[in-house]
């Protein structure tokens, strides 16, 4: 389970370049897991800061979605990823890209990417949910099930 920030301008979505986990070598939303004792809102603000350098504020919680897909990890064969989405804003974009370095950091950079360049072959399902929200102005909380999922060996962006 994790919390994720949807930060956008009129035609672009802020994404990170992922270098770990099932979304390796895809665009993903900034966000991640909660630390001990952390509230959801505190976690998403911290994660955005760590992965983008931005001091972001929450506009609203959009909802949650669960994604199920095959992924071999440790002794597991499937993963169910529960994502809680927050629409967020950041005013000082001059610090964009100044990410924190620490063990477990799975972002190798971030950028605003045109929404029409985000596809299911280069992006995580979370990014595709955010794209759908930005295009339709409606957030779907319907669970998504993927019969197949490929962890990419080479970046597709």
Mean pLDDT by 10 residues, the chain (157 residues): 96 92 93 97 96 95 97 89 97 71 67 96 97 97 95 83
CATH number (domain holding residue 127): 3.90.79.10
32-40 contacts at long range (C-beta below 8 A, 24 or more positions apart): 32/2, 32/3, 32/4, 32/106, 33/1, 33/2, 34/1, 34/2, 34/3, 40/3, 40/84
Query: Would 155 be classed as within a structural domain?
Result: no
Report the pLDDT value the prediction gives residue 101, as an integer from 0 to 100. 65
Hey, which bits of the chain come out as E strands?
Answer: 2-7, 12-18, 27-28, 30-32, 56-73, 76-90, 107-114, 144-145
Per residue in 76-122, pLDDT (tens digit) is: 899 999 999 999 999 887 767 666 665 665 667 899 999 999 999 99
Residue 10 in domain:
yes
The answer as to whether 30 is a domain residue is yes
pLDDT of residue 109: 83
124 lies in a domain?
A: yes
Rounded CA-CA distance 155/74 in Å is 23
Contact 82, 34 (CB under 8 A): no
| pLDDT value of position 98 | 64
Domain count for the chain, please give it.
1
pLDDT at 100: 61
156 in a structural domain: no
Would residue 16 count as lying in a domain?
yes
Enclosing domain of residue 12: 2-97+105-145
Q: What pLDDT, on the 0 to 100 scale, is given for residue 156?
A: 76
Residue 61 in domain: yes
Residue 154, in any domain of the structure = no
* The pair of three-digit structure tokens given for residue 41, joined into one six-digit string: 């809102």
């Amino acid at each position: 389970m994790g919390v994720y920030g949807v930060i956008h301008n009129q035609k672009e979505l802020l994404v990170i370049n992922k270098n770990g986990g099932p979304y390796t070598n895809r665009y993903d939303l900034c966000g991640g897991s909660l630390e001990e004792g952390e509230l959801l809102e505190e976690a998403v603000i911290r994660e955005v800061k760590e992965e983008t350098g931005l001091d972001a504020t929450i506009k609203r919680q959009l909802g949650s979605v669960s994604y199920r897909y095959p992924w071999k990890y440790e002794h597991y064969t499937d993963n169910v990823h529960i994502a809680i989405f927050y629409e967020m804003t950041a005013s000082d974009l001059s610090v964009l890209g100044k990410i924190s370095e620490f063990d477990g950091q799975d972002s190798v950079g971030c950028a605003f990417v045109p929404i029409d360049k985000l596809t299911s072959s280069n992006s995580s399902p979370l990014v595709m949910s955010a794209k759908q929200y930005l295009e339709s102005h409606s957030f779907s909380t319907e669970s998504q099930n993927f019969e197949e999922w490929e962890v990419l060996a080479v970046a597709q962006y």
